[in-house]
Structure 1
Amino acid sequence: MTLAGCGSTGSGEVTLKLVAADYGDSSANSSEHYWADLVEKFEAKHPDINVEVTVLSWNDVDAEVAKMVKAGEAPDMAQIGAYSDFAAQDKLYPADELLSIPTQGDFLSSLTSAGEVDRIQYGMPFASSTRLMFYNKDLFAEAGITKPPTTWEQLAADAEQLKENGVKYPFALPLGKEEAQAESLMWLLAGGDGYTDQIGSYNLDSELNVKTFDWLKTDLVDKGLVGPVAPGKLNRQDAFNAFSNGEVGMLNGHPTLIAQAKKKGVDFGMVPLPGRSGKAKATMGVADWMMAFKQNGHRDQIGAFLDFVYSKENVLDFSERYNILPVTNSAVDAMSEDAKFKQLEPFLNALPTSQLYPVGNTSWAQVSADIKERIGKAVAPGGSPAAVLTDIQNKARAAEAAE
């Protein structure tokens, strides 16, 4: 757990408390530095408002905020992974009671929709990313593969060639607990479906979803094309590390892998994960959320601070520091026009039509935890994708009914 206090010690009329997640991978680039710089600028313009920021690791931040709220000690704001359970408890301000119209209107529309519960926006997107398939150009060339796959059949054939050429992980498939819900959704979307139907109800065991995991098990896992670690035991960061060490032919990744792989000198390409027989209907997007709690009041001061947080300059600063995609149209436009962000362009292009987790469902946290726990068993030896997906679906339906 990393703690930091930001803000002046002056006698401002109001002190706001924010709990935020840490996007850095070391103390040198901890989010503490970003918030310290931002708060210093804000307080210079608003001497009557002090802001104290506590930065916690992603391993702890969601649980710590939940504890604070349960104890009746909610912060004024939290920047964490999910908001809908607090919205369902009537703990949050709606966004339109906080933000100016230009600020609220600047959010990407797909992220605004994902921040709504019963068509009211409570979750304000703070950071986003999409996913692409990374491939190692040198390993491809050495195996005689001239271009990345555009269908699942080609993907499996390429993985077979990589295996025959001695590649340790032809296609790394991290279905371990760290982020199995992400890897799973990427494949389900590529297979033509997803976690929910058109009205937002869970349909994890749909015919298309079962077919997707049947293919993964039969055509990749059972043929030994995913490497020496069972998918259910392989975590995302371990897969990223293996890719950066030149041991992975292909894997799904997000923008932070760019810097990690470059640092190790890996020559890589990035393309959308192929669909079953061609282009997938959508790629997966992820958003992290800012929310404001009603408990302490301070609505006007929170609004002033958040309008500042979401200025184009501050959104771009955060995105550049942490290789994260911006959440506002103005920042996306600015990034698209700046050559230094060229390598993020494919991720940016996928963002407007990306599909996010069903974060507006208050049951999502529970369903996500169940996917992390169980989905790896769907592709394990002797495992049944249909049985595992049906079991997860039954629990999801029960959680949904209890909302």
Structure 2
Amino acid sequence: MDEAVQRRRFLGLTAAAAALGLTATVSGCGVLGGESGDVTLRLVAADYDLTGGDTTKKYWADLVTAFEAKHPGVKVEVQIESWDDVDRKVAEMVKADEAPDVAQIGAYADYAAAGELYAADEVLSIPVQANFLPPLAAAGETKRTQYGLPFVASTRPLFYNKALFEKAGAEAPTTWDELAAAAEKLKDEGVTTPFALPLGPEEAQAEALMWLLSGGGGWTDASDHYAVDSEANVRTFDWLKKNLVGKGLTGPVAPGKLNRKAAFAAFASGEVGMLNGHPSLVKEAEKKGVEVGQVPLPGVDGKAKTSMGVADWIMGFKQNGHRKEIGEFLNFVFSDENVLKFAGDNDLLPVTVSASAIMETDPEHANLREFLKGLPDAQLPPVGKTSWATVSENVKQNIGKAVTPSGRPSEVLGTIGRAATTAENAE
């Protein structure tokens, strides 16, 4: 959806966005199949069905059927795993020298750094690789080479409960001060949690990044080095502590103890006035009778100049040597038809320029337009750094301390920042 990239359609990775899961076990390696020259690819994918159904399995089964019909010498076996298990299981497979040919999981950087993945230009056609949205392609790079192929994406606008806002006489905010003023009106009206600020260990690294970006900072600086305790970041957390948390506008649970899942559930139940939203929450809230308003994340002086993007990844492993067949499969996965099908069915965003342009004008996906608007200029967490897993975990466990009554944002961010620089230097 980046205007700088020509909108065009390409045949490619089919529905590559999310739930790689056919049905197979993984054992051995090398060429499989009944006839000489046949190759069987093993794919491990994450399950995106939030209801416990089989929509992810069906998606991949249909995709594989269509792919195999066009590539009679290649079979694909799919193993679907829950998000709780998929990253761990792939790591165990790689460690046991039983790597899948293709994996659709949450992170790629460690495998790229270890030389275990094909680079994008080794498996994708030029049109398919050029069709990725630029922020997502950039986030898939380790040491300036793309190894992570974005599968599906999302961004985070501000959600607000329209009924609670109307009752309180509040306006949808465009600045931090307007957000705080709206939260005050909601509190006066008896709303339990005027603004939900989930800085608990579930997803604090993402929640914090949304605020850092809207305050002109981020986890890294312009040279891609960690800048956790930059002046802009400290100012952001000083503001949060003083103007939201300190004034009792973030509800009865301390932000450092509040996880995103609980905040989302409370919003869907009508107990929260505002929070930074996710596509999956829209339908869940509306199912429970909450009419959701969406606006871009507020910034210091107006709409935040940069929004946060998130992507899940698909990648090809070198171990079994099936570069040609992996490339054929991934190019098929990224066709407009497949990308749109997976993203649309799961209320997520397509990762390609051409599919995003189609979704923007599709009335069926009008509820995703606010998310789509933020994607061309989105900034993703520094997922290409092998140190990010360690730094992210440190953030999850400690960032909430910055807004406690006794917490000092400069000290908390400084401690996290020094550890981040140490981890980065060890990469």
TM bin, normalised by shorter chain, reads over 0.9
- 2-structure distance, mates of 1:35, 1:368: 31
Which of 55, 65, 78 pairs up with 2:90? 65
Residue 5 (structure 1) aligned with residue 32 (structure 2): no
Aligned to 2:286: 262
Q: Which moved more, 1:65-74 or 1:89-98?
A: 65-74
- 1-structure distance, mates of 2:414, 2:54: 43
- Is contact 2:33-2:40 (8 Å) kept? no
After superposition, what is the alpha-carbon deviation per residue over 1:167-191, rounded to whole angstroms, capped at 9, x for unaligned?
Answer: 0110001111111111000000011
Which of 351, 374, 379 pairs up with 1:350? 374
Which SS does the other structure have where 1:250 is aligned?
strand
Aligned to 1:247: 271
After superposition, what is the alpha-carbon deviation per residue over 1:44-103, rounded to whole angstroms, capped at 9, x for unaligned?
Answer: 222221111111111221122122212222111111111111111111101111011111
- 2-structure distance, mates of 1:122, 1:191: 31
Q: Shift of residue 6 of structure 1?
A: 5.9
Residue 371 (structure 1) aligned with residue 389 (structure 2): no
Which SS does the other structure have where 2:117 is aligned?
coil
Aligned to 1:116: 141
- Aligned residue type for 1:265: G
Which of 290, 315, 326 pairs up with 1:291? 315
- 1-structure distance, mates of 2:55, 2:390: 29
Which of 146, 159, 168 pairs up with 2:192? 168
- Aligned residue type for 2:100: P
- 2-structure distance, mates of 1:11, 1:350: 48
Which of 214, 217, 220 pairs up with 2:241? 217
Residue 301 (structure 1) aligned with residue 322 (structure 2): no
After superposition, what is the alpha-carbon deviation per residue over 1:106-150, rounded to whole angstroms, capped at 9, x for unaligned?
Answer: 1111211111122211111101000000001110111111x2111
Q: Gapped runs of 5+ residues in structure 1?
A: none
Residue 319 (structure 1) aligned with residue 343 (structure 2): yes
- 1-structure distance, mates of 2:24, 2:345: 18
Residue 81 (structure 1) aligned with residue 106 (structure 2): yes
- Is contact 2:157-2:277 (8 Å) kept? yes
- 2-structure distance, mates of 1:3, 1:314: 14
- 2-structure distance, mates of 1:249, 1:29: 33
Residue 128 (structure 1) aligned with residue 153 (structure 2): yes
Q: Shift of residue 277 of structure 1?
A: 2.1
What is the TM-score when the length of structure 1 is the normalising length?
0.96
- 1-structure distance, mates of 2:40, 2:295: 46
- Aligned residue type for 1:36: A
After superposition, what is the alpha-carbon deviation per residue over 1:175-226, rounded to whole angstroms, capped at 9, x for unaligned?
Answer: 1111111100000001111000001000000111011111111111121111
Q: Gapped runs of 5+ residues in structure 2?
A: 1-19, 26-31
- Aligned residue type for 2:108: Y
- Aligned residue type for 2:153: S
- 1-structure distance, mates of 2:199, 2:79: 31
Aligned to 1:394: 418
Which SS does the other structure have where 1:28 is aligned?
coil
Which SS does the other structure have where 1:27 is aligned?
coil
Aligned to 2:385: 361
- Is contact 1:168-1:227 (8 Å) kept? yes
- Is contact 2:154-2:371 (8 Å) kept? yes
Residue 137 (structure 1) aligned with residue 155 (structure 2): no
- 1-structure distance, mates of 2:131, 2:406: 50
Aligned to 1:183: 207
Residue 205 (structure 1) aligned with residue 229 (structure 2): yes
- 1-structure distance, mates of 2:92, 2:412: 32
Which SS does the other structure have where 2:53 is aligned?
helix
- 1-structure distance, mates of 2:24, 2:74: 13
- 2-structure distance, mates of 1:321, 1:224: 38
Residue 22 (structure 1) aligned with residue 22 (structure 2): no
- Is contact 1:128-1:327 (8 Å) kept? yes
- Aligned residue type for 2:205: Q
Root mean square deviation of aligned Cα: 1.6
Runs of 4+ in 1 over 6 A off after TM superposition: none
Residue 102 (structure 1) aligned with residue 127 (structure 2): yes
- 2-structure distance, mates of 1:16, 1:235: 38
After superposition, what is the alpha-carbon deviation per residue over 1:294-343, rounded to whole angstroms, capped at 9, x for unaligned?
Answer: 01111011011101110100000001110010001110111112111112
After superposition, what is the alpha-carbon deviation per residue over 1:22-49, rounded to whole angstroms, capped at 9, x for unaligned?
Answer: 1111232542221112112112222221
- Is contact 1:6-1:36 (8 Å) kept? no
- 1-structure distance, mates of 2:21, 2:218: 37
- Is contact 2:22-2:78 (8 Å) kept? yes
Which SS does the other structure have where 2:173 is aligned?
coil
- 2-structure distance, mates of 1:373, 1:18: 33
- Is contact 1:92-1:292 (8 Å) kept? yes
After superposition, what is the alpha-carbon deviation per residue over 1:341-380, rounded to whole angstroms, capped at 9, x for unaligned?
Answer: 1121111111010000111111111111111111111112
- 1-structure distance, mates of 2:127, 2:91: 31
- Is contact 1:6-1:35 (8 Å) kept? no
Aligned to 1:149: 173
- Is contact 2:153-2:312 (8 Å) kept? yes
Residue 279 (structure 1) aligned with residue 303 (structure 2): yes
Q: Which moved more, 1:206-215 or 1:336-345?
A: 336-345
- 2-structure distance, mates of 1:229, 1:53: 42
What is the TM-score when the length of structure 2 is the normalising length?
0.91
Aligned to 2:16: none
Equivalence map 1:34-73=2 (5 Å) = 34-73=59-98
